[in-house]
Amino acid sequence: MDIKGKIAVMNWKCNPSSKEEAEALAIASDMDGVIICPPAPFIEAVRNKLNKAILGSQDGFWEEGAFTGEYSFNQLASVGVKYSVIGHSERRWLFSEDSNLISKKVKAAIKAGIIPILCIGEKERISEPEAIETVLSQLMASIKDIAEDDMENIIIAYEPVWAIGTGKNASLKEVEPVILGIIEYFKENFDKKMNIIYGGSVLSENVKNYMISPYIGGVLIGGSSLNKDKALEIIKIIRSTI
């Protein structure tokens, strides 16, 4: 399920409160190039409202069986999920998921035919070389069991944790070198061309900055994806800049 051009991934996190609100939000964001990741209880309701946007999930589990509260990537695939956010910083820091556990999820998602949107990002604002080193080590640990042939089937979401939900987005000057560092690493070591998106306080006021970069494949949007007008504005800006 390949999307041409830049993508907008809508991560609704644990929002909204009701199925009706989720359906209304889905209808408002149903445009080409958009991937909508609702909370698990609303996945089917949202899927039924989408004609152009593609269905995603916010997580998934690598196995089936006696794992109360979990749901597998195969189960997600069977209800139409094409992309899964994996290793989001909220999972890493609030739910203690480490890169070893995340690597199992990435592998299982690929096996189920789901494209992982693998999140990485440094926690605090650090220097550019430190940020590149931190995210590369997170990334390599999170894909340690992935065959080289599958690497290009992963979307990498670079989300500096300090920029998430703070209104303090990382500037293009801060984001581009880190993304380039990842791109160059994969080119040199594996001869692979990676697709990398940015996330962290993306707003209609700043989204254009990222879209003009040839190295940034799209954006991962949290808070702004929950407001119909703001989400639509962001999608329109993305479409007008590609």
In the complex, which residues of this chain contact ligand 13P (CB under 6 A)?
A: 11, 88, 159, 164-165, 199-202, 220-224
Is the CB of 38 or the CB of 199 nearer to ligand 13P?
199
Least distance between ligand 13P and beta carbon 68 (Å):
26
Q: Reduced to 3 states, what is the DSSP secondary structure of residue 96?
A: coil
CB of 190 to ligand 13P, least distance (A): 26
- Alpha-carbon distance 235 to 31, whole Å? 8
User: What is the distance of C-alpha 181 from the center of its chain?
Assistant: 19
Single-letter amino acid, residue 92: R
To the query of whether residue 205 is one of the catalytic residues in this protein, the response is: no
In the residue annotation, 188 being an active-site residue is answered as no
Our CB check for ligand 13P shows the closer of 36 and 220 to be 220
User: Shortest Cβ distance from residue 136 to ligand 13P (Å)?
Assistant: 20
Q: How far apart (Å, rounded) are the C-alpha atoms in residues 13 and 223? A: 9
Q: Using CA atoms, how far apart are residues 106 and 6, in angstroms rounded to an integer? A: 22
Q: Which of residues 16 and 165 has its CB atom nearest to ligand 13P in the complex?
A: 165
Query: What is the number of other CB atoms lying within 10 angstroms of the CB of residue 5?
Result: 12
Residue nearest to ligand 13P (CB): 222
Give the position of tokens 């944790």: 161
Furthest C-alpha separation in the chain: 48
> Is the Cβ–Cβ distance between 39 and 12 less than 8 Å?
yes
Q: How far is the CB of 146 from ligand 13P (least distance, A)?
A: 21
CB 122 within 8 A of CB 160: yes
Q: By C-beta, is 35 or 220 nearer to ligand 13P?
A: 220
In the complex with ligand 13P, the residue whose CB is nearer, 125 or 192, is 125
Active-site option among 88, 90, 122, 176: 88
Q: In angstroms, what is the minimal distance from the CB of 37 to ligand 13P? A: 8
Distance CA 107, CA 100 (A): 11
SS3 label, residue 215:
coil
11 vs 152: CA distance, rounded Å: 22
Kindly name the residue from 90, 97, 122, 159 that is annotated as catalytic.
159
Residues marked as catalytic:
88, 159
